[in-house]
Copies of this chain bind each other. A is one copy, B any other.
């Protein structure tokens, strides 16, 4: 199993650059004062489709052979990766089949339909998603672009950290959320490849703490029916992402649901930007662990801003 290196992420960045937004790095004097540290938010909520996932999906589509492109792509996703693959495929004239749980947020379903992809609904279990996906692959010959258990996807996700460090090279810590581990795999590979002295910390909901348990016990432990407001972080690590995270991540911290919701509201109120609950997790671990972060320069990967405004948690 080849693990990605910094050079792979740099190559991905050159490949996808004409297609993605270079998102802004924002800061807030009010939040810096509140948490007594210097926070630099890499705002992937402003990325196309409203999330970092467009980076990985685009890198995966651009890495296909001509023959693979002609047969299309397929994936299963709780939402943002689905929209990302749909748009990345359409921008490159490739057909996309999306397997999606029937309880996915309306805003995410609509996005996928808007990008012209075909949706196949299934039960909201990992098993149902994988079986439905396999069926489609057999029927059409489409290439699976897994949301995170995919080398090219991971390299694409790492490009957000690459841009962050190009803009702010003197960070002491970089934090990213952990769901399936794709973003954290790319982020940690990139950060450690550039500067081993920068601490890389993962943020996970306490109610979906499979990565925390896997990381501390050293044994890959999937989560069972996790219940958290951070709906982008329900998935569990794969062998690939677990291997990368074990090698590159310094620490994983968890956050309670209340902290996640408070921090989401705080960013909306003070920074006037929409972030989704999964993104608020990175700020919530700072709120819960002030001693770890006080006085530090910290980069935070804000993963996305796709929120169902009719179902707000506050």
Chain A residues packing against B (C-beta within 8 Å): 24, 45-46, 50, 107, 265, 268-269, 272-275, 305, 309-310, 312, 314
Contacts of A273 in B (CB 8 A): 272-274
CA distance in complex: A273, B312 (Å): 16
Closest-CB distance, A258 to chain B (whole angstroms): 16
Q: Are A45 and B272 in contact (CB under 8 A)?
A: yes
Q: Are A309 and B314 in contact (CB under 8 A)?
A: yes
Closest-CB distance, A137 to chain B (whole angstroms): 31
Q: Are B312 and A269 in contact (CB under 8 A)?
A: no
Closest-CB distance, A275 to chain B (whole angstroms): 8
Closest to A29 in B: B48
Closest to A28 in B: B46
CA distance in complex: A265, B50 (Å): 15
Q: Can you pick out 20 interface pairs between chain A and chain B where the beta carbons lie within 8 Å of each other?
A: A24-B24, A45-B272, A46-B272, A50-B272, A107-B269, A265-B309, A268-B274, A268-B309, A269-B309, A272-B273, A272-B274, A272-B275, A272-B305, A273-B273, A273-B274, A274-B274, A309-B312, A309-B314, A310-B314, A312-B312
Closest-CB distance, A91 to chain B (whole angstroms): 12
Contacts of A312 in B (CB 8 A): 309, 312
Contacts of A274 in B (CB 8 A): 268, 272-274
Closest-CB distance, A285 to chain B (whole angstroms): 22
Closest-CB distance, A104 to chain B (whole angstroms): 16
Contacts of A314 in B (CB 8 A): 309-310
Closest to A274 in B: B272
CA distance in complex: A268, B310 (Å): 12
CA distance in complex: A272, B275 (Å): 7
CA distance in complex: A274, B271 (Å): 9
Contacts of A24 in B (CB 8 A): 24
Contacts of A50 in B (CB 8 A): 272
Closest-CB distance, A50 to chain B (whole angstroms): 6
